[in-house]
Structure 1
């Protein structure tokens, strides 16, 4: 398999980390959606990452669908998410919140990087949405005692939250106020020390605020 995308993307990174926990080996092509558009387009007409190219040549796109495919390969007993029912819905909700956080953090980067005239309304909306998600996750996490969000082993929810949080902190240091979310920060920092997380790191360098 070939995983396309750079590890400074929280979406590419969550796929790579999940593949590591599943013991699935892959070739990595760290293509940029901007600099390597021509290379990426034949595999994904949206020119988005992550894109997973299977050994058959088939491509799977979008992190949620890639992970769904990987869960199928791993089998229900080994999957990093419950197979059905309320437990699955709860895990998917946390994943959705984390991915929404990552999406809004990426949107803020694009606004600052690509637009000479910034939309203060849009930037404020994204920042407000990020804060609201972080508040919700902080409240949820503070009520839990276990090392993992659900159950006694790491799951997609843990990986998604940790990856999104790391990206938000790196991409928006002026927006992200760490003391506001102590339980969430302490929780995510523990995962960043795991070898599966350390193996897939690319520090994000945010563009200047006024570029």
Structure 2
């Protein structure tokens, strides 16, 4: 399998770390949707990161869909999503908050860094920023109430994605979501970023 996309994308990075933890071999091709547009388009005309080129040559897009496929390929003992209904619902709830927060963070990055300053729409920035902060506040409350075990084996997809997205937010938008107001998320991020699969898959 070939994973296409840059690791500074939280969506690409969550897939790369997941594939490592699932025990699925892959080759990473760090193509940028901006700087390598034409090369990326030759693989996937939609130029969407992440793209997974499967063993049979088929293409998968969207990190969640790629990870659903990967879970089916992995040995049951290495899967990152729980099977038991209540645990799975809890993981999906957290993932919903994580991915919604990630979406808002990416929207803000694109608005503030790609759109000319005189064309930025401040009410839109304020609205999306408020949504981002609401998502992070909910995640902070959850993590403070039920801290995650500090080991790699029970990491799970929810904890993995939470750490990846928090790192992205702090790297790109620290002024929107100050780290000092989210000590539980900071503590989880420090732990996760010290795990072998994270160290082997740096965001830069």
TM-score (norm 1): 0.89
Task: Name 1:186's counterpart in structure 2.
Answer: 187
What CA deviation, in whole Å up to 9, does each residue of 1:24-81 have, x standing for no partner? Answer: 2211111111122222224334311111101210111110011101100114443101
CA contact (8 A) 1:147 1:187 kept: no
Name the count of aligned residue pairs: 201
CA contact (8 A) 1:148 1:158 kept: no
* 1:142 lines up with 2:144 in the alignment: yes
TM-align CA RMSD: 1.7
Q: Structure 1: where are the runs of 5+ without partners? A: 204-211
TM-score (norm 2): 0.92
* 1:120 lines up with 2:122 in the alignment: yes
TM superposition shift of 1:176: 2.3
Within 2, Cα distance between the matches of 1:86 and 1:126? 31
Where does 1:170-181 land on structure 2 (aligned, <5 Å)?
170-181=171-182
Within 2, Cα distance between the matches of 1:145 and 1:124? 30
Within 2, Cα distance between the matches of 1:92 and 1:46? 27
CA contact (8 A) 1:76 1:83 kept: no
TM superposition shift of 1:19: 0.8
CA contact (8 A) 2:52 2:59 kept: yes
Task: Name 1:154's counterpart in structure 2.
Answer: 155
CA contact (8 A) 1:76 1:82 kept: no
1:132 to 107, 131, 134: 134
CA contact (8 A) 1:44 1:51 kept: yes
CA contact (8 A) 2:144 2:184 kept: yes
Q: Structure 2: where are the runs of 5+ without partners? A: none
